Structure 1
Amino acid sequence: MSAATGQWQEAMRIDDLWEGDMEAVEVAGKKVLLVNVGGDVRAYENRCPHQAWALDEGDFDGETIICTRHMWEFDAGSGQGVNPNNCRLTVYPCRVTESGAIMVDVG
């Protein structure tokens, strides 16, 4: 997980990212994948560690992110690889403000 640098930027509004949804956004020039896992928002680099395929082109069942290129699977809550289990997604610090802004720190 990347450490927060204090350079928080608004990525989108929580009202636009429903539970079980994922959305690709750009934050400070970086491609970010936002996922809403049971009401908790997570932010990852929008690329599969296998061959840098865009993860937003894949599937998300509310718990698992699946890259459509070679069917690699990742736990949406942690970014840890499920299949195979020896990899992980790059995690960005993420929080939701009281006003509903999803803030991401890509450093």
Structure 2
Amino acid sequence: MVKVCPISELPPGTLKGIEFEGRRILAANIDGKIYAHDGTCTHEEADLSNGFIIGDRVVCPLHLSQFDLKTGEAVTSPAVEPLKNYKVKIEGPDVYVEVD
């Protein structure tokens, strides 16, 4: 498990990106539930933590591909490959992600 941040730093409607062992991980709070995925766009490898949220989707800052933050699925082109999902655990005041 990798600590992402205290839950107080990830209020509803926000994103948080971290680097772990050379990969980006993106955590998002959608309506009070935390989700985590690869933080790199599957189209052109942009950092999704620099994107923005619309509803339950993250919008890539480079070419505006959208990914469902609950499932990781690519919703709009040009991205077609989904994001890898990670299990999330809240322990005390902190958010952790299980990275395999």
Counterparts of 1:71-82 in structure 2, within 5 Å, are 71-82=64-75
Q: Secondary structure at the match of 1:56?
A: helix
Work out the CA distance in 1 between the residues paired with 2:35 and 2:21: 17
Q: 4+ residue runs of structure 1 moved beyond 4 angstroms?
A: none
Q: Which runs of 5+ in 2 are unaligned?
A: none
Deviation of the 1:68 alpha carbon: 1.9
Quick check: 1:17 aligned with 2:23? no
Aligned residue among 43, 54, 58 for 2:47? 54
With the length of structure 1 as denominator, give the TM-score of the two structures. Answer: 0.82
Bigger relative contact order, structure 1 or 2, given CA contacts below 8 A and separation 6+?
1
With the length of structure 2 as denominator, give the TM-score of the two structures. Answer: 0.87
Q: Which runs of 5+ in 1 are unaligned?
A: 1-7
Deviation of the 1:21 alpha carbon: 0.3
Q: Is the CA contact (8 Å cut-off) linking 2:36 and 2:88 kept in structure 1?
A: yes
The percentage of aligned residue pairs carrying the same residue is 24
Deviation of the 1:43 alpha carbon: 0.9
Q: How many residues align?
A: 99
Aligned-CA RMSD value: 1.6
